[in-house]
Amino acid sequence: MGLLLQVQSFILISNYGGTMKVFRFFIILYLAMDFFSNTSIFASSSRQFKLLVIDTQKGEPYETVRKSMLSELSGLGYKKGKNLTIKYYSLGNFEGRAKSIWKYREKKNIYDVIFLNGTIAVKAFKSFALDDHNKFVFASVTDPVGEGVIEDFEYSPKHNFTGICYPVKVVDRLRFIKKVFPTVKKIGLIHSDMPQSHSYNRWLKETLKNPEFRDLEIIFRKVPFVKSEEGHIRMVKLAEKYVEELNSTVDIFLSPNDQMDAQPPFAKMVYASATKPLVGLGRKDAMDGWGATMSIYPDLKGAGKQIAHMIEQLFKGKPIKDIIPKWPSYGVAFD
């Protein structure tokens, strides 16, 4: 309304002075300036922003989260090659590679935000950058509380890290299993010796103490953690013997919360080697023909969008300690 009154004043003045054309020009200019000065696109294009992206490994779940985040940032007016510079690295599950990248390649660069995609990436940067001047936003992290970068999901973070964690809450996953398979008693879980599984399996064991799940038993088997971009394929081969061993003992298999299951080979191996159903970890496990029977999964695209809005707030100058970490939203899928 204020803008309308000012425009009407311009028109009255211009009619009175007989210089209508000149004032029309200024009116249009004023309107354009007012419009662009109140849009995020104008605000974001007024300077160049720098974003460093570190994936724990190439592939899922990191790829979907990263692409969704960048797409949402673009929609918010932060466009690569225009007002946003992006540098990308994958660690290939080698924690030490992060320190090497930081020390030898990025030492002189100053980033507005550093996006850490995965547990290994967070562990690595926490070891040498906790509470320094950098601002870290994470996603795809199983247990950011256990990793020591946040305290909880209810209050402002005390360190220079915030973000969206990865897994669906353990209690919700077990309830989902009991609803779909009410007669299940024994669950087989083959996992890799990765930090993600250490945290997640600890949660599982604690949750099983709840009287609600007293009739459930989880039989664990562990395979070595094979680093590298293709390490998950080797781990799946090592896991096959345990699937064959447990197939006649358990009622269902439960996908591990680690990198071994985040790619297609694990679910495909269980489908080919077992006669018991697999409860997958992600949506694609059940919906893209990987081999899982069903899945209660974190919304990866939704997490990417949430991350983009957190990054935008930091671009606009909001303190990181005012951005509260969050759990992901989730969905269910059936083959």
CA angle 252, 255, 257 (to 5 degrees): 145
Is residue 24 scored above 80 in pLDDT?
Answer: no
Range of the domain at 19: 2-38
Whether residues 188 and 251 fall in one domain: yes
Residues 57 and 139 in one domain: yes
The reply to whether 263 and 279 lie within a common domain is: yes
Same domain assignment for residues 213 and 258: yes
Phi, psi of 56, deg, nearest 5: -65, -40
- How many distinct structural domains can be found in the chain? 3
At 40, is the pLDDT very low, low, confident or very high (cuts 50, 70, 90)? very low
Same domain for 257 and 314, yes or no, is no
67-102 pLDDT, tens per residue? 999 999 999 999 999 999 999 999 999 999 999 999
- Enter the tokens of residue 41: 């696109």
Quote the pLDDT of residue 107.
78
Contact 258, 231 (CB under 8 A): no
Find the CATH number of the domain harbouring 119.
Answer: 3.40.50.2300
Q: Is residue 184 domain-shared with residue 226, that is, in the same domain?
A: yes
Same domain, 209 and 144: no
Question: What are the tens digits of pLDDT across the range 255-293?
Answer: 999 889 888 999 999 999 999 999 999 999 999 999 999
> Would you say the pTM of this structure is higher than 0.85?
no
Question: Count of CB atoms within 10 A of residue 123's CB?
Answer: 18
Nearest-Å Rg of the Cα atoms of the chain is 25
156 and 201 both lie in a single domain:
no
With a pLDDT cut of 90, the percent of the chain lying above it is 79
